Structure formats: C-alpha cells, structure tokens
Structure 1
C-alpha cells in the first residue's frame, strides 16, 4: 500500500524553528526541585502512534519526557537509554540489543524483551496503519532472552542503530499493558519509562507532568514538575518568557531573538544543525508535475533578500541538504539557487500561464514569509495565491496531499542520513511527501544500505542530494539556526535536534 508518510520528525513548518545549545561547561552544582514551564508553539497531536499518525515537535517534546527509546543522540553521539549495547550480526542481516535491567513502566509493567517485542510487533502489524519508513528494513524483532532482543532485517542496513536512536513516534517504547487495556485513553495519557510521569492534558492549554520517583537513573530528573504551555502566538510566548510566566520557549521571528540578546535578564541558546527551511512541491498535481515549474520557483527565490529582511542575519543559506556542521555535508554539490534569468527562461519554455496555491501557516511570520515568496515568483512571471492554515494543522495538510506548494522543514539529521533521505525522498515504503518519482533515489539508497565503506556511503548520499536539487523535488534555500529564549535560572539545556526540548537533566537555579 503506497501511502503518504508524515515528515520524519514531524516537522512543524515554522519560520525560525528553535532549539538549544550547550551552556557553559563550567562545573555547577545541580539543584533538585522546582517547576519548569515551557512555551510551546502548537497543540499536541496525542500519544498513541496508531491514532496520532505523526508526532510533531510539540508532541515529541513532552513525549520524550514520559517515554524513552532504546538509544538516543546526544550531540552527534549515540548513547544508551533503554538499550545498553548494540551488536551487528556477522551476516549483517540482524543486530542484537541488550536491554537495561531493573526498569519498569509507570504502571508497574516490567520493561524487558517481551515488552520490546510486543511494541515492535504491534507497530509492524499491517492493521496498525503506522508509517514505518524510519524502520522499513526491519523484518521482525525476536526475543533472545529476558533482557536481549534481536532485530532481523530484510536487507543489510548500516543505519539501524541511527534509526533506533531517532526520537520518532515508532521508537518511543510504550507500556504494552496500558496500550492494550485502553488504547483510546493512552492517546491522552501516555505511559512509558521516562523521568516524568504524565498527569494531565488540558486541551489547547497545557500538559502537566511530575517527577518519576522510581526512575531507573536515581540521580535524575532534577525537576519536580513540568508544565508545557500552548502559546501559538510568538509575541505572547516571548512576553510570557520576559515576564517570568514561562521559563523557556521557542520563537518564530528573528526580532525576538535579537531583542533577547540585548536583555541581560534573558538567555539565548543557539545551535546550527543540519535542518533547513523548505517548501514541498506536490509533483502529482499541476503545475508542479512539470519539473520546469518546480525549478523556476527555486530559481526565483531570493535567498539573500529573505535572510536580510526576514531572518535579519540570524541564519544562513543552504548549499546542500545537510550543512557544514554535519559529517555528511556535501560541499561540491551544484545546488540550485537564485537565478532570475534561469527562472524566466524556464517560465517562457513552459509557454503558458503558471498559477498555483501556496499553503502557509496563519501566523505573523508565516503570512509574511508567504507574501515574500508570492513576490519572488511574480517577478519571473508566475502567480501564487496564498492559503493560510493553523500551524498545528499544516502537517496534516501535507499528509493529505491537499496542497500544490506547502511550507515545511527538512529535519535535523545526525547519524546515518539514510533514515531521513528514504523518508523524505524515497518511495519504497510510502509515497514521499512531495509525491515525486523516487526511483532514482530508491536505487541509490538500496546500494548504500549494503555498503560497508562509510566514505562510499557518503558519496551515495551526496548523489541523492544532487538528485534532489536537479529534480527540484523541494525548495530548500535556508539553513535553520535554532534558537530558544530562557530565564537564566534554567540550567543544563543541551544542544537539541529538531527544536525538541528534552528535560531529563535540566535543573533550575532557585
């Protein structure tokens, strides 16, 4: 069944998505206690993967506090969580994971091999209806002993551990008891092994969690309580941080970041990852079933104008998919960019009027950004109508295919990029978001999965990146630099991928 996939990390299409950089490494004595209030950009999508279908950043943030994965990325390193070790089989068609002993879910269910096998068996069942692109090469998961499982693969796959470390909805291990007993209730009240226990969700307002007193790491968490506040308006969110009503939050305009940098009562956390602002073209619909139209839009996009006037110098242009801070950066790509002459020539070659609808988020930043794109394409002879949707709904617009061009975000990537490249641009396990012909990409990624030489795999990934640009599958002109604004009392905020606030080791100076 060829169904459209959700974006890899449930990418909310914000214009200046925010995350966090390392604080000063100077030694500080962590303090226990206190409540951390976190300003969120949109409503949460719910926590039963089969019902939610997608975990956006606003959902992954609280999900990562209550549920855990086998492994996780800290910076660029994969570190243990519920899994202690990873060993690939000699035939490269399986891998064994040793599990952390002595862990229990919040409802008292033991975390063991049976729980992990039950989790992935449920996910892999066809009737679940969950998109499995992130773990598509996994055939089954078997119990070896009480605390060991084996992942059996359909083909050799170098990216398996990277995939398992991805905080995607399929990798958060759920309590099999809670899910079986009340799947509807689980959607509103998740049960995991994490450092915080879910308490309540007031729709449109907040999620509340409290410290897990039985967490397997006795040193953590430091905080007693978490409150995730739904504050979609960026000005309201910023003023809430300035006034102390919220301790930390993300902004969607550069003005807030620049203003906060001048305020001694605020701390700005900054991190440039490999993510990027992007726009999807729906290649299954006119006019974007014509690659000349897609390329014309890309060449019409005045990156410098948007960087100077919208982002105010707070981020940079892209030259490839991943960026120079990624070990998978491809510096020699012939990356499509601003070129009015090429854009006008392509429009002339099409030889008929080009008009399309651009979907953007109904926020001040989203409206302004859409207006700039509208002017860019008009300059080369195309017309764009703007359709505004609520930010929390824009991802679902993309999933349904109810768009011609839609603002999006290419996810931050660490570890093997096969996971994201297959998810966004491959089609073996569901139509890519942009609904393009993925045969070229699929063929290269199949070879890369079987390749043991890392340098050769990188060359193949760069080949995929070049195809993305050549075929103009998406418009990816601007690198995301992540920002968060916080009270200085918020300590130990790590460098976060994909704007997700992970609270496991955050503490408050009170």
Structure 2
C-alpha cells in the first residue's frame, strides 16, 4: 500500500479583492470602509478569532517589528535588528528608540514581555502558540532588547517577525495593566491611527495618532470601518457613495463590480488555502484508502467555480505559485478521478460515514456542501454542521466531536508554522497525525535553520508524506 496519502488536505486558494470608486483617491478627509461583520475585540488573549475582518480593523493601530519590501528583503519597522543564537532557540530583537505609543507612553521591551505574559496566562495561549511558534518565554533584557526563548529550534520565527501576524502586536504596557480586560475595547498601539470611537455592531472610528513618528504617511484625517452585512448591500453602498471601499473574498461580488466602469477592482491571490482537515486517529478516516478516495472524489475546479465564481486556483500545498516555498505542484496530490475513488472505497470494504463542521462563512458553506455532494456520489455519508467561528469552533474541533472540518489558512508565511499542526508531539495536533515520515520531515526542516533549500525540500517532503 502506498502510504503517501496519510494526511490529505483538500485545498483551494482564495482571492482577496478590494473594490473602490476610481475617482475617490485623494489626500486627507475621511475614508469609509465597509466590513461584513462586527468587530469582536482587539485583545487576542481574550479574543483570538482568526479572521481577516478583525485583522483589518487592527491594522491602523498596530505595527510589526519588521516587514519585507517588494524584493522580499527584511526591513526594520519597530525593530532595528535581530539575531538567532547558536543553539537556534533564542531570538534577540533590538528595538528602535524614540518611538511612542498613541497615549504618549514610551515604546520599549517591557511592552512585549507584558504582552506575552498576558497571552501565556490566558486560555487562548494554546491556540495563539500555533500562530507565533513554540515560545517558552519572552524576556526584556534591557529597555530596548527582547529575547524570544523557544522550546526548540524554530527557523520559521524569522517569518513571524517580518509579517503581519496579529498576535505579535503589542499594546502600551502600563495602559494594558491599568485597563485589564477593557484592553479588548481600548487598544493602544504605535501605528499611524488610534481608535477614537467604537459603536459595537455598527462602526469603528480611527483618528491620527498624535505621537506617530512619520506624519507624512498619515494620508487620511479619519478612517471609519462600517458594518454592512451581505455582499450585495456593501457593493451597492460603494456604488451609491455611502462607503468608499469594501473588502471581500467573494468572487461573484468582484465579477459584478468589474462590470461597472465607475468602480476599480483590485484582486490579489493570497498565499493561503481553504482546507478540509481530517481526524486521522479513528475510523473511517484513519485508513489511508478512505482519505485518498475522498480526495479523488472531489472536482476542485468545480468547487472553485461554485464557491468563489472561479477566483483562485486548486492548490497542492499551503503556498501559491508566487511564494518561494511553493512546491511546484509536485506534491502528488490526488487528481479528480471518481473511478479511483470508488475502487479505493471498495477495497476498504465498509460503509463510510463521518461528521464534518464548517463556519457560517458563505464560501465555506458552499464548499462544504459541494464536497458533501461529491462524496455522496461515492456512497459516503457526511453529517454537516455549522458552528460559529472563534474559540467555540476550535473547541468543537479539538474536543473530537467531529471527524473533518474546514479551516482557512490565510497568507501562510512559513512552512514551519503550519507544520506544527501535524507534528505528533505537538498539543495543537488536532488532526491526530502520528506518522513517522511526517515527523522526520518536520524535524529535518526545523534542524535546517540556515539552509533554506533543505528546509524547502523537507517541507515539500512532509506535504507529500
């Protein structure tokens, strides 16, 4: 038996679409952005909800330690420099001096020490650690030097330091201690804007941060995020001028907008996937023949057409063609082949029935139902349930209530980060992956800290495994 398909991820790459009136670009004034769901809070220790609306609402307030230019080179933002220790377990970051938070508080290393103490003492830490890596402790060595101490070598941390990973965004430390749980509603970052008003379920208003070090990039006087539920109502709001910009991942909405000559549509193929993951520890999904059959049964191009109006590409790993980590489509992902699917299910010789859960997101629900239909044609019975996103969803997954679930992995930054979820000894291994060849490939990737080519080869190897 070919064991390469011990873990099958059914994936499609999503499109990220921005729509705005072509004549609305000007300096100053107020920009009104339409968002499709209410903001749930800014403190990720209380509210780790991983969805792009929440992250977009945080972006005006916070900044990264480092960023990457168009060529992929790391450039300083809040950090001045960083280095890794010889044993590859300690990352030392030197911060820039003279920066202030929006409340006038000095920006220093204690901000990150306080930030991670709050995280690590919260119920959300198990989830957040999956986004920032195996951090054991964060220590302020002096006023502008931080050490991120890891449980094991973790080369992916360079990507976390230099990408917009929201659990890394720190608040003013004294303010954080003073307001306590109210930090979820009273964020204070170093970014160009600060929260002025929040009307729950209605809107968020941002004004200029008076202490921002580079006023030249504060192009707008005010930003308003306005909640308008539904793709069509938001699109009509752009057309009427009630809002200036809308963000969507719905391909049908983007195609509708492209028909209007007064609108400008900017599309971006993000480096992430929508996946269906399996609990591989119990029947029927503990059998590689069943998992491989389920993959062969799905026409993923039809999935993209139905769920996202054709936007995106069928993916073979977590990274798109524009990423340096892309495996070139050579991971051996099963092609659409109903005949092979039926043959594998016949070889299994037992009825296949399992429970699957998805979030109440349009693309997810359409995709989940389409998979359910493809599998039903093969005689597979799937009980599908919709659970709200956030902690409740991931508790449902980790509790073992379900055998399969949809997960959006948006803008994957490094294979070492996603790989944690499939390492047998990792507590966040929700798929219950326990395959020696996958563990071996991951361990090799983590050891190859300074050899990027070896890391990529190991990554592509564990995806194939």
Pairwise TM-score range, normalised by the shorter structure: 0.7 to 0.9
2:279 corresponds to which residue? 282
Q: TM-score, with normalisation over the residues of structure 1?
A: 0.78
List per-residue Cα deviations over 1:240-276 (Å, max 9, x = no partner): 2222222222334322222222211111111223212
2:370 pairs with one of 369, 372, 379 = 372
2:94 pairs with one of 86, 94, 98 = 98
Aligned length: 446
Correspondence list, 1:77-116, <5 A = 77-116=73-112
Correspondence list, 1:48-127, <5 A = 48-74=43-69, 76-125=72-121
- The answer to whether structure 1 residue 407 and structure 2 residue 402 are counterparts is no
1:430 pairs with one of 427, 432, 436 = 427
- The answer to whether structure 1 residue 165 and structure 2 residue 141 are counterparts is no
Secondary structure of 1:210 counterpart: strand
CA distance in 2: counterparts of 1:402 and 1:39, whole angstroms: 35
Is the contact between residue 273 and residue 326 of structure 1 (CA under 8 Å) also seen in structure 2? Answer: no
- The answer to whether structure 1 residue 197 and structure 2 residue 194 are counterparts is yes
List per-residue Cα deviations over 1:304-337 (Å, max 9, x = no partner): 3234454443322223332221111112221123
User: Using a 3 Å threshold, how does the CA distance of structure 1 residues 234 and 434 change in structure 2: closer, same or farther?
Assistant: farther
User: Using a 3 Å threshold, how does the CA distance of structure 1 residues 188 and 17 change in structure 2: closer, same or farther?
Assistant: farther
Secondary structure of 1:219 counterpart: helix
Is the contact between residue 423 and residue 433 of structure 2 (CA under 8 Å) also seen in structure 1? Answer: no
Is the contact between residue 274 and residue 411 of structure 1 (CA under 8 Å) also seen in structure 2? Answer: yes
User: Using a 3 Å threshold, how does the CA distance of structure 1 residues 389 and 353 change in structure 2: closer, same or farther?
Assistant: same
Q: Give, in angstroms, the shift of residue 364 of structure 1.
A: 5.2
**Which stretches in structure 2 are left out of the alignment for 5+ residues?**
1-10
1:382 corresponds to which residue? 380
User: Using a 3 Å threshold, how does the CA distance of structure 1 residues 460 and 48 change in structure 2: closer, same or farther?
Assistant: same
User: Using a 3 Å threshold, how does the CA distance of structure 1 residues 292 and 202 change in structure 2: closer, same or farther?
Assistant: farther
2:291 corresponds to which residue? 294
- The answer to whether structure 1 residue 334 and structure 2 residue 329 are counterparts is no
CA distance in 2: counterparts of 1:402 and 1:242, whole angstroms: 44
CA distance in 1: counterparts of 2:63 and 2:290, whole angstroms: 43
1:216 corresponds to which residue? 213
Q: TM-score, with normalisation over the residues of structure 2?
A: 0.85
CA distance in 2: counterparts of 1:276 and 1:165, whole angstroms: 20
- The answer to whether structure 1 residue 455 and structure 2 residue 450 are counterparts is no
1:6 corresponds to which residue? none
| Root mean square deviation of aligned Cα | 3.0
Q: Give, in angstroms, the shift of residue 186 of structure 1.
A: 0.6
The structure showing larger relative contact order (alpha-carbon pairs under 8 Å, at least 6 residues apart) is: 1
Is the contact between residue 15 and residue 252 of structure 1 (CA under 8 Å) also seen in structure 2? Answer: no
CA distance in 1: counterparts of 2:116 and 2:249, whole angstroms: 36
CA distance in 2: counterparts of 1:347 and 1:425, whole angstroms: 25
CA distance in 2: counterparts of 1:97 and 1:185, whole angstroms: 29
Secondary structure of 1:158 counterpart: coil
**Which stretches in structure 1 are left out of the alignment for 5+ residues?**
1-12, 25-29, 468-510
CA distance in 2: counterparts of 1:461 and 1:378, whole angstroms: 33
List per-residue Cα deviations over 1:266-312 (Å, max 9, x = no partner): 11111223212212223356543443332222111112323445444
